[in-house]
């Protein structure tokens, strides 16, 4: 029995064969045009041999005598009607194909725009992170400088040297601190609002 089954079907497991039968033309490896059929037109004649001349002459005499012209015209009308239906369906299929192509193009354009927007947002977030790290580094340097100046001022106070301008320096330090806190609050607020 196995000798009658072709080799390509013998190598397939039963599950794959069942899946192919169930899925049908959804995952068919053949092109879609091969799967289309025109049901309006009669099937083509597979083999055509030229009949004898004697047979044709006898049939034509009988056919003309019986009223073959009416049958011939009826056949032509049926064929023309089937052809018109086929052309109508072909035009409808072309319109649907054009609509699907436009929809696909619009979708691909939308995907490109969204990917560009996402890329821009990622670049912007990277720039904001760089700015935050730069501000943190500057803040740390300012804190070190302030600590050094306070340490020097403390040494001067221990030695008994009190500067007249220390009150103005204190006022400037307080203003710088307040502005730094407000700037950081503004930076974080803008980041979360955007």
pLDDT in tens, 152-178: 766 666 665 555 556 677 777 888 887
The predicted model gives 99-121 an average pLDDT of 92
Q: Which range among 80-89, 158-167, 183-192 has the greatest average pLDDT?
A: 80-89
Model's pTM, two decimal places? Answer: 0.34
Question: So what's the pLDDT on residue 2?
Answer: 47
Tell me the residue range of the domain where 46 lies. Answer: 21-127
The predicted model gives 84-90 an average pLDDT of 91
Round to whole Å and give the CA distance between 42 and 85.
13
- The answer to whether position 8 is within a domain reads no
Number of domains in the chain: 1
Residue 87 has pLDDT above 70, yes or no: yes
pLDDT, greater one: 155 or 42: 155
- The answer to whether position 72 is within a domain reads yes
- The answer to whether position 16 is within a domain reads no
- The answer to whether position 176 is within a domain reads no
């Amino acid at each position: 029995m196995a000798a009658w089954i072709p080799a390509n079907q013998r190598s397939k497991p039963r599950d794959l064969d069942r899946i192919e039968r169930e899925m049908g033309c959804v995952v068919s490896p053949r092109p879609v045009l091969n799967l289309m059929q025109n049901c309006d037109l009669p099937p083509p004649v597979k083999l055509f041999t030229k009949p004898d001349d004697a047979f044709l002459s006898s049939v034509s005499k009988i056919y003309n005598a019986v009223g073959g012209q009416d049958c011939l015209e009826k056949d032509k009308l049926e064929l023309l009607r089937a052809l018109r239906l086929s052309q109508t369906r072909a035009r409808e299929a072309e319109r649907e194909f054009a609509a699907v192509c436009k929809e696909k193009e619009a979708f691909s354009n939308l995907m490109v725009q969204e990917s560009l927007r996402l890329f821009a947002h990622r670049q912007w977030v990277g720039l904001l992170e760089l700015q935050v790290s730069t501000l943190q580094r500057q803040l740390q340097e300012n804190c070190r400088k302030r600590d050094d100046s306070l340490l020097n001022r403390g040494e001067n106070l221990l030695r008994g040297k009190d500067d007249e301008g220390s009150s103005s320096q204190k006022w400037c330090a307080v203003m710088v601190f307040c502005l730094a806190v407000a700037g950081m609050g503004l930076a974080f607020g803008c980041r979360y609002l955007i």
